[in-house]
Amino acid sequence: MRLLKKIFNRKTPAVNMKKFLIVGLGNIGEKYKKTRHNVGFQIIDRLAERNKCNWELKKLASYSSINIKGRKLILIKPKTFMNRSGKAVRYWALKENIPLENILIVTDELHLPFGTLRLKPKGSSGGHNGLKDIESQLNTLHYARIRFGIGHEKKALDQVKFVLATWDDTEQVILVERIDFFTEAIISFGLEGIENAMNRFNGK
């Protein structure tokens, strides 16, 4: 962990404050592609598409990047399953010398109403296995995350079955608009910082 702590120390000259690591969480494989649990993949897929960026298969992840107003946003989709996402996050943060405060994890949130945006600079995993693994690999809770509410209102329904199901017809109607809204919040995070992005986008 010594190298990790060195790179993630904001006073270390090696880090690049104009680089950001944007990580979409999801499960690989066609059967998971349009499930609620894969909305992190869907959001950064859309972010890459809007900026005409292509994906490359690299170590531990699919990789793309956006250059905008002097900032570089590195986008990754871990090639591991959701509960092993942390290994890819750690690898790419170290490889690209990205400071901890410039990492943003894009994920689903079972306990928020559908489409709700919640951006935070730190916090617990809330039972999310992908976030648990990232916490373990980074050895900290202090990394930003942007959560997409998937709205588990049917309490009697099995949670695993719910998150691994595809979007229903009602959700599909407004899903594209909400995903585009999330891409704008991610760009704001890179250009304006997390506090400004939170003020502009949280709860909307």
Tell me which residues are annotated as active site: 37
What's at 47, amino acid-wise?
Answer: L
Instruction: List the 144-149 sheet strands across, edge first.
Output: 56-58, 61-68, 71-78, 19-24, 103-109, 144-149, 117-120
Which residues, in sequence order, are CB contacts of 133 under 8 Å at separation 6+?
83, 84, 85, 86, 87
How many Cα atoms are found within 13 Å in the side-chain-facing hemisphere of 123? Answer: 15
- Hey, what are 116's tokens? 């709700």
- Hey, what are 65's tokens? 């990047």
Cα 152-155-160 angle, rounded to 5 deg: 65
